[in-house]
Amino acid sequence: AGTMEIVYVYVKKRSEFGKQCNFSDRQAELNIDIPPSPQLAEQFVERNPVDTGIQCSTSMSEHEANTERFEMETRGVNHIEGGWPKDVNPLELEQTIRFRKKVEKDENYINAITQLGSVRLPRRQRSGPQPSLCFPTCMSGPSEKDTSWNLPSGSRQTGPPCTDQRHCIKQNNAIDIYQEYFDDEDAVEVMEEAPSAKTINVFRDPQEIKRPATHLSWHPDGNRKLAVAYACLNFQRAPEGMSNDSYIWDLENPNRPEIALKPSSPLVTLEYNPKDSHVLLGGCYNGQIACWDTRKGSLVAELSTIEFSHRDPVYGTIWLQSKTGTECCSASTDGQVMWWDIRKMSEPTEVVIMDITKKEQLENALGAISLEFEPTLPTKFMVGTEQGIVISCNRKAKTQAEKIVCTFSGHHGPIYALQRNPFYPKNFLTVGDWTARIWSEDSRESSIMWTKYHMAYLTDGAWSPVRPAVFFTTRMDGTLDIWDFVFKQCDPALSLKQVCDEALLCLRVQDNGCFIACGSQLGTATLLEVSQGLCTLQRNEKNMASSIFERETRREKILEARHRELRLKEKGKAEGRDDDLREEEPTLNLEELVTKAEEEFFDIIFRELKRREAEAVKKKPKPVALRVRPISVAELEEGATLIAHKVDEQMVVLMDPMEDPDDILRAHRSREKSYLFDVAFDFTATQEMVYQATTKSLIEGVISGYNATVFAYGPTGCGKTYTMLGTDHEPGIYVRTLNDLFRAIEETSNDMEYEVSMSYLEIYNEMIRDLLNPALGYLELREDSKGVIQVAGITEVSTINAKEASLEQLAGAVERSTHPSPGGDGRGLGRAARE
């Protein structure tokens, strides 16, 4: 089957287009005869060559042809097996076989096929890669002598046609036409929608005396339930009658918790067992570890004995990914990390003391408040401490002391969150003081990336489980920040202010990365859903994130090496040339140092301010003012009329002087043209007004060191000289500028030194003349060594007498240029004043 384009022929009679031209020969006739006149000639300047267009015929009117719209339509036609001659019915097998046989016996056909077998390579290549070679199995008719094979005459191949053809086929197959060459070149997909998040549900502490929500845990199967631990962490300040209960919430029902968990001391942490969703692990405020089996109700199923438990609140509990699913670990500010098996909860299986001096002394131990255990690195675990140090530990070390492997310090306060990147476990996130930091295990001296210092403390943080470059942080001021460091480094990709009116204390991301729960100071758990882009792995994101991690680690290492080098040098100096240094030191007293530092500081600030100011000035558009001068008496006598009208402060309208109400051809044309300027003046404007609006404001800039240019532009006689120079009674911009300039200089001369020089030149017919000393003749433009264009040899009137001389000489110049030489008007373009 095939489709057929339907062609529509659009016909229009010639007569409908207007009158036809008929050319005919006839005798030349004289239309007009203008004899040369010497008087007239005097009024003209001779021009050579002269290009003139002549139109002898009268102008004709326009004629428009409006054609009718025609609707086109393409229809398919079912066309069965094309190419059979009319007398062959393609459905009759017998007929087609007979026809095929007839054709195959045809000499032309045989020739064509044999020659096709030796198709030359260059021609195949030229036609580009094709899926396969095609062989005609049937031809429309052998009658026409077919020359389309286009072979060099006489190159008839008699042998088997296969060899060359095979080559062609092989070559064809060498190119995989289905291969996508630029598949992986695509840039990171830009997130189609801006990152966003919406609150889905809010779960409030049902108790009358509200307690802070200290920890959250998602039900391991899907996002149906959320366990929330509630505890008041103010030491011995918990109000009388405050409940110890924590809750499991069904996400569908924010009105009532599904189950209450009833420990004897409030829970600081609460964790679902990932292997068994009925089992939960809780760390109590009094240091005990408790276990629940929700099938058995609200009461504690297993509890550690007080004497073998922590002595401070348990701030961190995690389940270990073990075969039995019964092992877990806890951390407390008492400086211990304990390992437990819930089948035997009476005492811990192991205790590690967080003493980084490796002396195993509890009094030296740092308070452990966050834990990280990565199942793929089962011998390692990490502990975030109250003192802002991350301790990396080896679980399998032989002695206690060896269990403390190394530390990472950089935070100025407790590390509330510690988590390895789910994609690149070598890199981990910490949250403490006012920052979140990302570290590499390879770089111990400093974190490799960090957020800015926030105004409020950060309270918790976590990686997105699905995007290597995304993490979440909560703040004391109730803000949830979502970071995407591939997309933006200095600021969060999304900052959700006021998730709560009070402080946010904890957060937990659901395994699909789309749902985030935040717990607040007043016991409110807010459930948020982030937009699709934030919880879908972006194209190439893994590579980008890993290369950012690697690059930043490298950078930190280079800095570390450099620091070490400097420290060594200092040490060498301190030991070696100690004495020389001592002698020099006392000469610099502290006060001097402080003033010097202050000066430098303000210098930097002023320079920056100046730079910004200059930039702002540069960006400002150059104001353009228009001045319409009055019609002179002479012009009035000639019958001139005013066509430029000022409409408002900025708009000027030009009326068409040729306007003729009887002229039908022009009747439809717009009769007037309007133009907009920054400011417009008509003949009523005084010199002072023009000066005020265009130039006066520049003076301040000039005396503080900026360049300024004012220039007048227009055809001869439009009033440029009048505006710039003016007359004795009506001085123009030059004189007014100089007056104001000198006044401004005098006013500020106490704390500024100025140098004023003036030159005055004329550019006419591309020639430069010094108007302060016309005898110099024509001057040249040159570029000096700094690339500044200068007029070589121009007179500059110096500072001392600039004021008097300039005004006097200007006046002289006014005279000269208002009585122009016969050569034409002196068009002065003045560099009136220079700083």
Query: What does the block give as tokens for 502?
Result: 């009070």
Q: Is 719 known as a binding-site position?
A: yes
- Which residues are CB-contacts of 59 (< 8 A; sequence separation ≥ 6)? none
DSSP assignment of 490-528 equals SS-SEEETTSSSS-EEEEEE-TTSSEEEEEETTSEEEEE
Nearer to Mg ion, 456 or 829 (CB): 829
**Binding of residue 816 to ligand ADP (CB under 6 A):** no
Q: Is 716 known as a binding-site position?
A: yes
**Binding of residue 717 to ligand ADP (CB under 6 A):** yes
Question: Which member of 361, 543, 692, 716 binds ligand ADP (CB under 6 A)?
Answer: 716
Nearer to ligand ADP, 630 or 777 (CB): 630
Nearer to ligand ADP, 307 or 728 (CB): 728
Closest separation between CB of residue 489 and ligand ADP, Å?
A: 58
Nearer to Mg ion, 554 or 816 (CB): 816
Q: Is 715 known as a binding-site position?
A: yes
Q: Please name the residue ranges forming H helices in 656-727.
A: 664-667, 687-694, 698-703, 720-724
Closest separation between CB of residue 722 and Mg ion, Å?
A: 8
Which of ligand ADP, Mg ion, none does residue 83 bind to, with CB < 5 to 8 Å depending on kind? none
Nearer to ligand ADP, 38 or 715 (CB): 715
- What is the dihedral angle through the alpha carbons of 227, 230, 231, 232, rounded to the nearest 10 degrees? 150
**Binding of residue 718 to ligand ADP (CB under 6 A):** yes
**What is the contact mask toward Mg ion in residues 713 to 732, using x (rule: CB under 5 A)?**
--------x-----------
Site residue total, Mg ion (CB under 5 A): 2
Query: What does the block give as tokens for 251?
Result: 């996400």
Residue type, 419: Q
- Which one of 515-523, 674-682, 782-790, 825-833 is the stretch in contact with Mg ion (CB under 5 A)? 825-833
Closest separation between CB of residue 646 and ligand ADP, Å?
A: 13
Question: Which member of 164, 441, 825, 835 binds Mg ion (CB under 5 A)?
Answer: 825
Nearest to Mg ion by Cβ — which residue?
721
Closest separation between CB of residue 730 and ligand ADP, Å?
A: 8
Nearer to Mg ion, 262 or 629 (CB): 629
Nearer to ligand ADP, 111 or 818 (CB): 818
Contact status, residue 472 vs residue 509, Cβ threshold 8 Å: yes
Q: Would you call 587 helix, strand, or coil by DSSP?
A: helix
Q: Is 720 known as a binding-site position?
A: yes
Site residue total, ligand ADP (CB under 6 A): 12
Nearer to ligand ADP, 159 or 715 (CB): 715
**Binding of residue 734 to ligand ADP (CB under 6 A):** no
Q: Is 721 known as a binding-site position?
A: yes
**Binding of residue 763 to ligand ADP (CB under 6 A):** no
Q: Cis ω on the peptide bond leading into residue 131 (within 30° of 0)?
A: no
d(CA 479, CA 516): 13
- Which residues are CB-contacts of 296 (< 8 A; sequence separation ≥ 6)? none
d(CA 391, CA 353): 11
Closest separation between CB of residue 630 and ligand ADP, Å?
A: 5
Question: Which member of 454, 719, 763, 816 binds ligand ADP (CB under 6 A)?
Answer: 719
d(CA 428, CA 330): 20
Nearer to Mg ion, 188 or 631 (CB): 631
- Which one of 86-94, 428-436, 565-573, 715-723 is the stretch in contact with ligand ADP (CB under 6 A)? 715-723
Closest by CA position to 404, among listed 458, 437, 361, 464: 361
Cβ neighbourhood burial of 701 (10 Å; 0-12, 13-18, 19+): middle
Q: Is 717 known as a binding-site position?
A: yes
CA separation, residue 544 to residues 423, 513, 538, 540 (Å): 12, 19, 10, 6
**What is the contact mask toward ligand ADP in residues 575 to 614, using x (rule: CB under 6 A)?**
----------------------------------------
**Binding of residue 721 to ligand ADP (CB under 6 A):** yes
**Binding of residue 824 to ligand ADP (CB under 6 A):** no
Closest separation between CB of residue 788 and ligand ADP, Å?
A: 28
Nearer to ligand ADP, 508 or 627 (CB): 627
**What is the contact mask toward ligand ADP in residues 619 to 648, using x (rule: CB under 6 A)?**
----------xx-x----------------
Q: Would you call 328 helix, strand, or coil by DSSP?
A: strand
Which of Mg ion, ligand ADP, none does residue 719 bind to, with CB < 5 to 8 Å depending on kind? ligand ADP
Residue type, 740: D
Closest separation between CB of residue 768 and Mg ion, Å?
A: 16
d(CA 368, CA 409): 14
According to DSSP, the β-strands at 470-475 and 504-509 are unpaired
Closest by CA position to 223, among listed 516, 422, 473, 533: 516
d(CA 294, CA 260): 10
Angle between helices 733-747 and 687-694 (to 10 degrees): 60
- Which residues are CB-contacts of 626 (< 8 A; sequence separation ≥ 6)? 652, 675, 677, 679, 680, 681
Which of Mg ion, ligand ADP, none does residue 705 bind to, with CB < 5 to 8 Å depending on kind? none
Closest separation between CB of residue 33 and ligand ADP, Å?
A: 38
- Which one of 278-286, 418-426, 717-725, 753-761 is the stretch in contact with ligand ADP (CB under 6 A)? 717-725
Nearer to ligand ADP, 623 or 630 (CB): 630
* Number of alpha carbons in the 13 Å side-chain half-sphere of residue 589: 2
d(CA 792, CA 781): 6
Nearer to Mg ion, 511 or 825 (CB): 825
d(CA 605, CA 625): 36
Nearer to Mg ion, 678 or 825 (CB): 825
Which of ligand ADP, Mg ion, none does residue 302 bind to, with CB < 5 to 8 Å depending on kind? none
- Which one of 264-272, 389-397, 433-441, 716-724 is the stretch in contact with ligand ADP (CB under 6 A)? 716-724
Nearest to ligand ADP by Cβ — which residue?
719
Query: What does the block give as tokens for 118?
Result: 């030796």
Nearer to Mg ion, 276 or 825 (CB): 825
Query: What does the block give as tokens for 551?
Result: 């690059």
Which of ligand ADP, Mg ion, none does residue 220 bind to, with CB < 5 to 8 Å depending on kind? none
Which of Mg ion, ligand ADP, none does residue 303 bind to, with CB < 5 to 8 Å depending on kind? none
CA separation, residue 187 to residues 131, 540, 599 (Å): 30, 8, 48
Query: What does the block give as tokens for 247?
Result: 């809750």
Buried-exposed string 105-138: b where 16+ CB fall within 10 A, e elsewhere: eeeebeebeebbbbbeeeebeeeeeeeeeeeeee
Which of ligand ADP, Mg ion, none does residue 714 bind to, with CB < 5 to 8 Å depending on kind? ligand ADP
Binding residues for ligand ADP, rule: CB under 6 A, are 629-630, 632, 714, 716-722, 825
Q: Residues comprising the binding site for ATP? A: 714-721
Binding residues for Mg ion, rule: CB under 5 A, are 721, 825
